[in-house]
């Protein structure tokens, strides 16, 4: 988000988008990991979108939350939010660099999620549990009772 905000402050939407795209590429193929694979750029896209298209980004985040709560698949929520972002950018009348950015980012996120899509089709994608189950590994122990002496 910081790179895109700085780009908008120094120039306009185009400069902000270019700075944001540079940040996204840096998260996808980080220099400090020897350009090995990094993340799928969903969070970075969200930060850039907040900087260059606040209302479309908030609306797409709302889609992410609703889809995640309904399915408990982060990948499905990420895909839905990414695909909704350019639609909201058009709806809110964003500039052409922002619309191009949101459309390109949506395509990139779909491509980077192709293994998740394959796991979803095969029924092998993992759902995220929203509540801890008692007795499961990682659950906190019962509180200790204090005794008066």
Tens of pLDDT, residue by residue over 40-75, are 778 888 889 999 999 999 999 999 999 999 999 999
Digit-by-digit pLDDT tens for the chain (149 residues) are 888 989 899 989 888 898 988 888 887 767 666 666 767 778 888 889 999 999 999 999 999 999 999 999 999 999 999 999 999 999 999 999 999 999 999 999 999 899 999 999 998 888 888 776 666 555 555 454 544 55
> Cα angle vertex 99, ends 98, 104, to 5°?
95
pLDDT at 91 (0 to 100): 96
Q: How many CB atoms lie within 10 A of CB 53?
A: 27
Name every residue whose Cβ is closer than 8 Å to that of residue 64 and which is 6 or more positions away in sequence.
77, 78, 80, 81
pLDDT at 42 (0 to 100): 84
Half-sphere exposure of 39 (CA within 13 A, CB side): 11
Q: What is the C-alpha separation between 89 and 130, in angstroms, rounded?
A: 31
pLDDT at 147 (0 to 100): 47
pLDDT at 146 (0 to 100): 47
State pTM to two decimals: 0.77
pLDDT at 136 (0 to 100): 57
Helices 114-122 and 74-91: angle between axes, nearest 10 degrees: 120
């Amino acid at each position: 988000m910081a790179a895109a905000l700085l780009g908008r402050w120094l120039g306009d939407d185009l400069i902000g988008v270019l700075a944001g795209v540079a940040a996204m590429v840096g998260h996808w193929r980080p220099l400090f990991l020897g350009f090995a694979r990094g993340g799928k750029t969903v969070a970075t896209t969200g930060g850039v979108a907040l900087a260059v298209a606040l209302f479309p980004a908030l609306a797409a985040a709302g889609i992410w939350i609703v889809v995640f709560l309904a399915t408990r698949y982060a990948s499905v929520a990420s895909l839905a939010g990414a695909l909704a972002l350019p639609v909201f950018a058009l709806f809110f009348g964003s500039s052409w660099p922002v619309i191009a950015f949101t459309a390109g980012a949506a395509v990139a996120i779909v491509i980077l999620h192709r293994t998740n899509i394959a796991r979803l089709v095969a029924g092998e994608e993992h759902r995220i549990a929203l509540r801890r189950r008692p007795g499961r590994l990682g659950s906190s122990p019962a509180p200790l009772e204090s005794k008066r002496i």
